[in-house]
């Protein structure tokens, strides 16, 4: 539950920022008639992400307990770890410029007088967040089970909605930069756990035989299948019977990713466009 809560909170806030920027820009230039095109693109993106995630989940469930399932889970863990790392670093370095970039792309679409262009812009921007979330959710379900996943997702989305309203109402007093830094650092811990899960599956498949002996066994005191063990596993990558390679991969990734993330230089914020709406200007300085 905790892992999906943080994932959906982070992705929900980013998606709501994207939609708010597009709607604010269209409102400023007197093109409110295109609101429905943005919302249509958002709805299509959500349907694609949900449909793809559900289809993938039920497809792999038909191979429950088989080698095919283990291979699919391994690929999902690896892809989720890569995506988590990439999108967290991308947001860290592009938070100040995302508003201007979206406005420029919206202006180009309107310049060609293509309603479809605005719809596709919203679909592409939100769809990326949705597909990432679907992959992360699958990885969490495979690693910890379905218990609490739905509740965590719903609570995360509710909190994301609250943050979005707070940004709109409070503007600069909401430090989205600090929010994304904190959530980003936590996601690096999640990704380290996914790296360890990937290594564990590779060893179970027999594809990696290096350092595959068991380091310790705490399954009697705190099994991964327990409620507390599930939380520790999803949040911190806890394993009750890890191998040396799992531990080394976890610590090496965590040290490298956190160090790079926290030391990443911040880029200067671009000047807001003349006459930009208050909402768009607030969002464009989200890292201030």
Residue 280, in any domain of the structure: no
CA dist., res. 196 & res. 174, Å (int): 35
DSSP 285: T
* Assigned domain for 125 exists: yes
Which two three-digit tokens encode residue 179? Answer: 């929010």
| Rounded-to-integer distance, Cα 49 and Cα 145, Å | 20
User: Does 281 reside within a domain?
Assistant: no
CB proximity list for 212: less than 8 A, separation 6 or greater:
203, 243, 245
Give the per-residue pLDDT at 211.
93
Does residue 131 lie in a domain region?
yes
| Nearest Cα residue to 136 out of 208, 56, 61 | 56
Rounded to two decimals, the pTM is 0.77
Which residues in 270-279 are b (16+ Cβ under 10 Å) and which e? Answer: eebbeebbeb
DSSP 240-275: SS--HHHHHHHHHHHHHHHHHHHHPPPPPPPPPPTT
Average pLDDT, the chain: 80
What pLDDT was estimated at residue 284?
42
Residue 257 pLDDT more than 50? yes
Number of domains within the chain: 1
**Of residues 123 and 269, more confidently modeled:** 123
Q: Which residue has the higher pLDDT, 227 or 59?
A: 59
Q: Which of 126-130, 172-176, 250-254 has the highest mean pLDDT?
A: 250-254
| Domain span holding position 192 | 2-267
- Residue 272 resides in a domain: no
Q: Tell me whether residue 117 is in a domain.
A: yes
Question: Does 13 fall in a domain?
Answer: yes
């Amino acid at each position: 539950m905790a892992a999906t809560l943080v994932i959906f909170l982070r992705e929900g806030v980013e998606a709501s920022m994207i939609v708010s920027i597009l709607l604010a820009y269209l409102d400023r230039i007197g093109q409110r008639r295109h609101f429905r095109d943005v919302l249509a693109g958002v709805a299509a993106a959500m349907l694609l992400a949900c449909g793809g995630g559900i289809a993938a989940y039920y497809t792999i469930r038909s191979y429950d307990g088989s080698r095919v399932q283990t291979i699919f889970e391994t690929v999902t863990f690896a892809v989720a770890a890569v995506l988590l790392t990439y999108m967290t670093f991308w947001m860290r370095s592009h938070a100040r410029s995302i508003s201007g970039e979206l406005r420029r792309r919206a202006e180009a679409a309107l310049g060609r007088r293509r309603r479809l262009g605005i719809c596709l812009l919203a679909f592409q921007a939100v769809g990326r967040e949705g597909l990432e979330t679907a992959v992360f959710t699958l990885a969490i379900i495979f690693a910890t089970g379905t218990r609490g996943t739905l509740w965590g997702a719903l609570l995360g989305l509710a909190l994301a909605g609250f943050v979005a309203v707070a940004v709109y109402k409070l503007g600069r007093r909401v430090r989205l930069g600090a929010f994304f830094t904190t959530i980003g650092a936590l996601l690096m811990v999640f990704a380290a756990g996914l790296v360890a899960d990937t290594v564990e599956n590779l060893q179970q498949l027999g594809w990696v035989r290096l350092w595959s002996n068991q380091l310790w066994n705490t399954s009697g005191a705190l099994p991964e299948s327990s409620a507390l063990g599930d939380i520790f596993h999803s949040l911190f990558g806890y394993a009750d019977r890890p191998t040396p390679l799992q531990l080394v991969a976890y610590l090496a990734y965590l040290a490298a990713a956190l160090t790079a993330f926290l030391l990443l230089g911040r880029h200067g914020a671009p000047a807001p466009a003349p006459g930009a709406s208050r909402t768009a200007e607030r969002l464009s300085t989200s890292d201030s």
